[in-house]
Amino acid sequence: MTFTSTNPQQSRTVVAQLKRSQIFRDYEQAFRETTGLPINLRPIEAFDLPHHGDPKESPFCALMAQSNHSCSACLQLQKKVEEEARLEPKTLKCFAGLCDSSVPVRVGDNLIAFLQTGQILLHAPAKADFAKATKQLVQWGTEVDLKRLEEAYFQTRVVTRKQYESILRLLTIFAQHLSALSNQLMVEKASEELPAVAKARAYITERHAEELSLTEVAGAVNMSAFYFCKTFKKATGMTFTDYLARVRVEKVKNLLLNPHKRVSEAAYEAGFQSLSQFNRVFRRIAGESPTVYRERLHGPPAT
C-alpha cells in the first residue's frame, strides 16, 4: 500500500483546527480520565516531546525530559515510531522499557497527523529494569537525581498487553472520526483574501450534482481556465478535480445517514457519473469502500 503526506505546514494548520474542535476536546478529556494516560494529536514532522506537560505525563518521562541526552533519545524514539506508524498503529519501547504508540490520522491515502499515547510499562517494574536504564544514563553522562528517578520509575503506569491493545483500538476509532473531520475542514477551507476562489467554492457546492468542468467554473468567476487552476490550487491546496470529488464524497456521506438510501442512489445524486469512478474516488478519499462505510453506520443490510 502506498501513502503520501500533506506538507508540514498544512498538517500543522489542520491539527490546530482539529484541536480547537469540540469533538477533539471532549475525547481528549474522556481519554485521560478513563485511561489515566497522556494523549496528543501531532502534526507530521513535529520536533518536540509529545506528552511533555500533559496532565497525565509519566513522572519518569518528565524527569528524563530535563536532561539533554535522554531528551534526545526520546525525540529519536518519537521520530522512529512515527516513521513506522504511517500506515498503521505502531508501538515501540524506549531505553527504559516504556512503550510509546502512534496511530496515523489519514484522509484516504494522505497522512494528516498522528494520535499518540504511551509512557506505560507492559509488566511490573523491576530493580533489574531500572538498573539497566541507569547504566544507559551513566554511559550518556546524564546528570540526574537517581533516588528521585527510581521513585518515579516505580510509579510508572502498568497496563496489561490486552488492555493496551484495547486503548490503541479506541485511538484508531477516534482517528477515523478525525479523518472525516479533516476532510470536511479541507472542503470548507476559507479563502477570504480571494473572493473569486470563495465564489468558485460556493458555485461548486451549489452545482456539484451536475456535470461540472473546470472551464465552466472558471468562466463563472471570470477567470481563464489556466489561471483559475493555478489560483484555486494555491488557495485550497487541492486541484479543482480533487476538491469537487471531496465535496461529492461529503454529500454521499450525508445521504447515507439515511438507512434506506442505497449507495448507488447516493453516488448518482451527489454527481458521480459512474459507480466504478465513485467507488475508486470514495475509497481514495475516505480510506474505505462506500459499502464498508455504510455498514459501519447502519450494520450489514438485512437478507
CB 157 within 8 A of CB 37: yes
pLDDT for residue 280: 93
Burial of 249 from C-beta contacts in 10 A (0-12 / 13-18 / 19+): buried
Output the CA–CA distances (angstroms, integers) from residue 293 to 56, 177, 203, 253, 283, in the order listed: 34, 12, 28, 8, 10
pLDDT of residue 125: 93
Are 50 and 116 in contact by the 8 Å Cβ rule? The answer is: yes
Span 107-133, average pLDDT = 91
Residue 108 burial by Cβ neighbours in a 10 Å radius (0-12, 13-18, 19+): buried
Cross-strand pairs, 118: 100
Q: Which of 14-28, 68-82, 97-111, 183-197 has the lowest mean pLDDT?
A: 183-197
What pLDDT shows up at residue 191?
Answer: 42
Q: What angle do CA 62, 65, 70 make, to 5 degrees?
A: 125
Q: Give 56's pLDDT tier (boundaries 50, 70, 90).
A: very high
DSSP at 42: E
State residue 98's pLDDT score.
95
Residue 111 pairs with which residues in a beta bridge? 5, 106
Question: What CATH class does 4-184 carry?
Answer: alpha beta
- pLDDT more than 90, % of the chain: 52
Residue 11: band (very low, low, confident or very high) from pLDDT cuts 50, 70, 90: confident
**Cα 36 vs. chain centroid, distance in angstroms?**
21
Beta carbons within 10 angstroms of residue 269's beta carbon = 14
pTM reported for the whole predicted model: 0.65
Residue partners of 292: CB distance under 8 A and separation at least 6:
none
Minimum mean pLDDT range among 44-53, 108-117, 239-248? 44-53
Cα 123-129-133 angle, rounded to 5 deg: 130
**Residue that the C-alpha cell 474505505 belongs to:** 288
Residue spans per domain, the chain: 4-184, 189-298
Q: Counting Cβ atoms within 10 Å, is residue 272 exposed (0-12), middle (13-18) or buried (19+)?
A: buried
Q: Cell triple for residue 128?
A: 533489574
Predicted confidence band at 128 (pLDDT cuts at 50, 70, 90)?
Answer: very high
Residue-level pLDDT at 302: 53
pLDDT tens per residue across span 176-190: 889 888 877 766 654
What confidence score (pLDDT) does residue 6 get?
Answer: 65
Cell of 275: 459507480
The fourth-level CATH superfamily of domain 189-298 is Homeodomain-like (1.10.10.60)
Cα–Cα distances (Å) from 142 to 62, 77, 120, 276, in that order, read 14, 18, 22, 60
Grid coordinates belonging to 97: 522499557
Each residue of 165-177: pLDDT tens digit?
999 999 999 998 8
CA distances from 227 to 196, 233, 246 (A): 11, 10, 22
- What is the per-residue pLDDT across 281-295, written as a single tens digit (0 to 9) for each? 998 888 888 998 888
Going 109 to 170 to 20 to 56, the CA torsion angle's sign is negative
Helix, strand, coil shares of the chain, percent, nearest 5, are 60, 10, 30
Q: Across residues 146-168, what is the average pLDDT? A: 94
Bridge-partner residues for 117, per DSSP? Answer: 101
pLDDT mean across residues, the chain: 87
